[in-house]
């Protein structure tokens, strides 16, 4: 079987390069899934942006990673004339790459223009298309996260034409039915494979406490809430890892405010390969987002035994499995942090539950088992049209 991932921003992480312009859990998930599929003997090609890490690996725009994943360049993010580049070179290069790949199955994750563009190609070429939800915002009826009408139309069309839709949580599955009348399979996100270098819990929780925040400096992630926590708690050390995906007044404002807080360290963008050490040395991971899907950072933190304190609680996992706490503002988040770390024995028990939960519910092996079942059940290439499954919309 040959599977093509439409994952335009995944080139750097698949090549193990430094982060250069984008930090995303979707790319980390696709890298884990792609590597495990290749390990099982599945041929995997990934369509990525032109230039950057891929071009350094092979100027001809096509290369194979050390893991055996084929990367095929499409277009450079800034190429073309404004107003025209949506069609050329972006759409034309994407379809050219898909045709060049000539895969049995096409897979794309996260709402956007690419969802509809990929689905239309598959419809014309009579190939199955599988879409995976990347965030709760993909399931919102108004699609508030997509900025233009064409993005929203293309996403809705692609969602309606997918042979299978994959959700991360039961909550997302319900929202897809309510908003779009689309049924989905629930496949949880997968955690990185186990490591043998897990730090002993003897030194945790630290004194002073070490709190970590990881993500983009964007309004939906609410990094300003983490900065406010640092301003309120001079006895705690705060570490912020991340940068904006694009220069913005919002990101500059957050960085400027953070620079004035003595107990907050801004680490900027950090290569994904180095992130494990940040999780290991933190007592807690903080998430301050307005919405998420299932954050990759949760899984990476839990795999090192680091609990999570968060404003979002996907499928009530933090409280249901005892792997973290929930808060709504700076004051309640700080209270949750102090309560969770106030008893060393209780903290260690929570840390142990984090590792156990990742291994039992989010192993890459179980997740890719589910993907293989879906791919294997799809009709063979060049067969008859694939009809997506729909449900009655509940108002």
In angstroms, the CA 103 to CA 127 distance is 8
Q: Provide the whole-model pTM.
A: 0.88
**61: number of Cβ within 10 Å:** 17
pLDDT top residue among 22 and 210: 210
Peptide bond into 339 cis (omega under 30): no
Question: Each residue of 287-333: pLDDT tens digit?
Answer: 999 999 999 999 999 999 999 999 999 999 999 999 999 999 999 99
- The mean of the pLDDT values for the chain is 90
E-state strands within the chain = 2-6, 43-48, 62-64, 70-73, 105-109, 129-132, 164-167, 185-186, 210-214, 237-241, 264-268, 284-287, 308-310, 324-326
| Cβ proximity of 154 and 117 under 8 Å | yes
| Maximum Cα interatomic distance, the chain, rounded to a whole number of Å | 65
Query: Which residue, 144, 150, 110, is CA-closest to 130?
Result: 110
Range 336-361 burial, b when 16+ CB lie within 10 A, else e: bbeebbeeeeebeebbebbbebbeeb
pLDDT tens figures, 69-94: 999 999 999 999 998 999 999 999 99
Chain centroid offset of residue 364 CA = 14
Which pair of structure tokens corresponds to residue 133?
A: 């939800």
pLDDT tens, 21-32? 455 788 999 999
Neighbouring CB atoms inside 10 A of 222's CB total 18
Q: What is the pLDDT of residues 322-332, one digit of tens each?
A: 999 999 999 99
Distance of CA 292 to the CA centre of its chain: 9
Q: How far is CA 216 from CA 208, 244, 246, 296, 384, in A?
A: 26, 5, 10, 13, 42
Distance CA 331, CA 327 (A): 8
76 touches 42 (CB < 8 A) = no
**pLDDT over 50 at 197, yes or no:** no
Q: What is the pLDDT of residue 385?
A: 47
Please classify residue 140 by burial: count the beta carbons closer than 10 Å to its beta carbon, then call 0-12 exposed, 13-18 middle and 19+ buried.
middle
The answer on pLDDT for 388 being more than 90 is no
CA distance 250 to 257: 11
Domains assigned to the chain: 2-191+365-377 (3.40.50.2000), 201-361 (3.40.50.2000)
Mean pLDDT of 167-192: 96
Task: Give me the pLDDT at residue 25, please.
Answer: 83
pLDDT band of residue 195 (cuts 50, 70, 90) is low
Q: Encode pLDDT of 237-269 as tens digits.
A: 999 999 876 568 999 999 999 999 999 999 998
145 vs 196, residue with greater confidence = 145
Helix (H, G, I), strand (E, B) or coil at 146: coil
pLDDT of residue 97: 96
Count of CB atoms within 10 A of residue 328's CB?
10
* Percentage of the chain modeled with pLDDT above 70: 88
């Amino acid at each position: 079987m040959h599977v093509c991932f439409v994952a335009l921003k995944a080139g750097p992480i698949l090549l193990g390069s430094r982060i250069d312009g984008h930090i995303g859990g979707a790319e980390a998930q696709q890298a884990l899934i792609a590597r495990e599929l290749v390990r099982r003997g599945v041929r995997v090609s990934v369509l990525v942006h032109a230039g950057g890490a891929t071009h350094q690996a092979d100027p001809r725009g096509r290369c194979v990673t050390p893991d055996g994943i084929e990367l095929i360049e499409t277009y450079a993010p800034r190429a073309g004339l404004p107003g025209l580049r949506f069609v050329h070179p972006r759409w034309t290069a994407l379809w050219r790459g898909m045709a060049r790949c000539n895969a049995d199955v096409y897979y794309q994750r996260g709402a956007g223009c690419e969802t509809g563009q990929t689905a239309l190609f598959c419809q014309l070429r009579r190939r199955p298309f599988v879409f995976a939800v990347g965030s709760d915002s993909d399931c919102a009826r108004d699609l508030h996260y997509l900025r233009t009408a064409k993005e929203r139309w293309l996403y809705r069309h692609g969602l309606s034409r997918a042979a299978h839709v994959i959700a991360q949580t039961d909550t997302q599955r319900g929202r897809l039915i309510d908003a779009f009348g689309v049924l989905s399979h629930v496949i949880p996100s997968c955690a990185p494979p186990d490591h043998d270098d897990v730090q002993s819990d003897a030194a945790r929780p630290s004194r002073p406490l070490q709190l970590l925040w990881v993500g983009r400096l964007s309004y939906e992630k609410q990094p300003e809430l983490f900065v406010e926590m640092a301003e309120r708690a001079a006895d705690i050390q705060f570490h912020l890892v991340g940068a904006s995906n694009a220069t913005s007044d919002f990101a500059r404002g957050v960085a400027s405010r953070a620079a004035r807080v003595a107990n907050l360290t801004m680490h900027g963008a950090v290569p994904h390969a180095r992130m494990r050490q940040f999780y290991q040395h933190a007592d807690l991971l903080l998430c301050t987002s307005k919405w998420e899907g299932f954050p990759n950072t949760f899984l990476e933190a839990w795999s090192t035994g680091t609990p999570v304190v968060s404003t979002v609680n996907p499928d009530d996992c933090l409280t249901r499995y005892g792997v973290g706490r929930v808060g709504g503002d700076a004051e309640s988040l700080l209270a949750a942090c102090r309560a969770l770390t106030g008893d060393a024995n209780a903290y260690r028990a929570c840390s142990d539950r984090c590792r156990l939960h990742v291994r039992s519910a989010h192993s890459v092996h179980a997740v890719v088992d589910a993907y293989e079942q879906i791919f294997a059940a799809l009709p063979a290439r060049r067969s008859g049209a694939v009809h997506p499954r729909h449900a009655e919309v509940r108002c």
